[in-house]
Amino acid sequence: MKNKELKQTIIDERTGIEYNLVNGYYIPNILLPKPRRTGNIGKYGRMRARYLKEHKKAEYSLMLIENELTSHLLDIDDICRERVNFLVKQIAEKENVNEELKAQNQLEWVAQMNNILYRAEEIITNEIIFQ
C-alpha cells in the first residue's frame, strides 16, 4: 500500500486566502489572472520591453505584477508594424520609389527602400516605443 498524503486546506479568516498543506508547508493557493493576449513578441515589442525595463522601472514592474506586460508588448508590436508599413508606403510613394525604378535599377530600389524603412522605424521608435 502506498502512503497517500493528506491534502489539508485552510482559509485565513483575515485575508480570505486559501492555503494547501504540502509536505508540511502551507502554500497559498493563488492563481495569476489570465493575460488578455498571448503570443510571440516581435522586434518592436522587445524594444519596448527593454526601454521600459531600463527607463521606466515602476511602470514595467506594475505591468509585470498585474500580468499585463505581455499583452502590452503584443499591442505595441502590432501598432508599430502597422505604422511602419503605412509610413514605408507613404514615403515611397512621395519619393517616387516604385515598381518602375525596381525594373530599371534593382540595387537602387533596394537601397532606397532600406533607407525608407530605417526612417520609418526611427519615427515609430520615437513616437511609440520611447513614450
pLDDT of amino acid 3: 47
- What pLDDT sits at residue 13? 85
Reduce the secondary structure of 4-28 to three states and give it as a string: CCCCEEEECCCCCCEEEEECCEEEE
C-alpha cell at 1: 500500500
* pLDDT reported for residue 95: 96
d(CA 17, CA 11): 6
Residue positions counted in the chain: 131
Each domain of the chain, given as residue ranges in start order, spans 1-31, 32-129
Q: Cα dihedral angle (21, 24, 28, 68), rounded to 10 degrees? A: -120
Residue 32 identity? L
Residues of the chain with pLDDT under 70: 1-7
**Calpha distance 86→117 (Å, rounded):** 11
Taking the whole predicted model, whether its pTM rises above 0.85 is answered as no
Q: Check residue 98 and give its pLDDT.
A: 95
